[in-house]
Chain A
């Protein structure tokens, strides 16, 4: 039973700003469906007493509130395709 349809793939592709060929669309639908089925095997376990886990580590460390060095301005914009006036430039965003 297919859970991932071509429509689902279209939706996800649109959110991810990807354009797919017809062939890719079908391949990904099939592959994503297989992955889901594989992962679904975990549903056969009884997890009633297992709290949900969001991360492999229980907790992490903290950083003190002490300012450090930021990038040199020219370094920050080094890889930017279209910098000007110290800014990253992007196509104009209408009504943003």
Chain B
């Protein structure tokens, strides 16, 4: 524990942080929320723009049904109630990334209300972080402040992102520290990935987070004055920024001052938050109903259709892995972080009929190699079927566990099936007693001293003999058979 961490836990002994998070997630539609421009990251600037998303006079928005369906998936997967009627609203402010001078959002009547996300609780249980609301809105354009010869005087604006569909998910102030915030974001990300509502790519800005933070003395009922922290664009930043802000607020209170309600911007390079807007100008958005869009009506049938299309979600799947496959909760947690990994594991388990072996191979070998290669499971060349066959080759005694690790490495690079590698390289385990007898005799003859020691009572030396036989056979001898043969020869 570093000095900073020690002093932070010291603060927590006296003060309780109260945190609420607002997460913006881009939805995985092919088009933007109100026009048919592609929703695609990484294209040359201002190539996916049209009169609607540039806010040219006379252009009118038309809502994408798919965007609403994806937002509903997120709402239902987090146990929110989808509202029969929600209303589009204009949020008015001036900023160069906002071509119309307002953002089309939802305000008084959002798409969905009151749900929850499960996070790990104390003593191995779970705890619910309550969601207040989920609303839909359009993303703003992207500002480029650096990297051009003219960057000292000017900023560039790219509107490819302008109009991309977003959901904003707002929690109640239920989080009690940076750790909680991290757990919540991890759980939320896993859900959004599972239901394929968002790719949650923080580097590309698909998932962004603002935090409302206050502190109060332990035991106090009333909340302290809160600040809003913006610009938290990685999980690590969220935790660091929260720690910094909590420490800052405690320092203000301890020195007899008062926390000012304001928006602060996280600066990752400096590792601190700084005041962003003055109080008087903040949050006067003059929301009013969007005259260009009628209310959004969601029928019961539509909600039901979306509900039925949802896959099994991470918390349920985790529970099922422990109950049905008998896995430890830790393993189940690791394996259900991503839907693709969970699917992969279940295929291997089905193939082998041995869930524990499948879990060990996926966790210790597949996930390790993916991490080494910085690759995604979709790129993995070892299919679950061939990993299953490899496990069966061990269990059937065809190859040893040690050889299997080498075979796995070869499968990883070539994508070949295990049988082909085992046959070509002659890796079949030697279990034939007659064939191994000669090697055992050779080893004993070459080591009279060890034989004498063994016979003199040093029974543990048996391991050394096994090792010698394994070495001579290139690791292919069946250790169980070797053991029996050695004992027979030495004890006779």
Chain A contacts to B: CB under 8 angstroms: 15, 17, 54-71, 73, 76-77, 82, 84-93, 95-96
Contact = CB atoms under 8 A, between A and B. Distances in A.
A58 B44 contact: no
Q: Which of A17, A86, A88 has the most CB of B within 10 A?
A: A88
B96 A87 contact: no
B143 A96 contact: yes
B295 interface: yes
Given A76-B49, A95-B265, A85 B63 contact: no
A89 B65 contact: no
Contacts of B480: none
A57 to B, nearest CB: 4
B49 A70 contact: yes
Interface size class of B (residues with CB under 8 A): 35 or more
A76 B54 contact: yes
Nearest to B85: A59
Nearest to A96: B143
Contacts of B286: 15
Interface string B106-135: 000100000000000000000000000000
A40 B104 CA distance: 28
Given A55-B289, A96-B145, A65 B29 contact: yes
Given A57-B294, A62-B65, A65-B67, 14 more contacts: A55-B293, A55-B294, A60-B63, A63-B31, A63-B36, A65-B31, A70-B49, A73-B47, A84-B148, A86-B45, A89-B157, A92-B151, A92-B152, A92-B155
A76 to B, nearest CB: 5
A88 B46 CA distance: 9
A61 B65 CA distance: 9
A59 B295 contact: yes
Contact of B156 (A54, A65, A76, A84): A84
A94 B289 CA distance: 32
Contacts of A88: 46, 96, 156-157, 159
A59 B297 contact: yes
A90 B37 contact: no
Interface in B140-166: 143-145, 148, 150-159
8 contacts: A58-B295, A61-B62, A62-B64, A63-B34, A67-B38, A69-B36, A88-B157, A91-B154
B264 to A, nearest CB: 12
Given A55-B295, A65-B29, A87 B144 contact: yes
B291 interface: yes
Contact of A66 (B36, B48, B87, B156): B36
A65 B156 CA distance: 29
Interface string B32-52: 001111100000111111110
A77 B158 CA distance: 11
B94 interface: yes
B30 interface: yes
Contacts of B297: 58-59
A93 B47 CA distance: 23
A70 B145 contact: no
B37 A55 contact: no
B296 interface: yes
B110 to A, nearest CB: 13
Contacts of A58: 294-295, 297
A55 B92 CA distance: 19
A60 B293 contact: yes
B66 interface: yes
B211 to A, nearest CB: 19
Nearest to A77: B46
Nearest to B276: A95
B87 A54 contact: yes
B153 A92 contact: yes
Given A71-B50, A96-B145, A91 B153 contact: yes
B379 interface: no
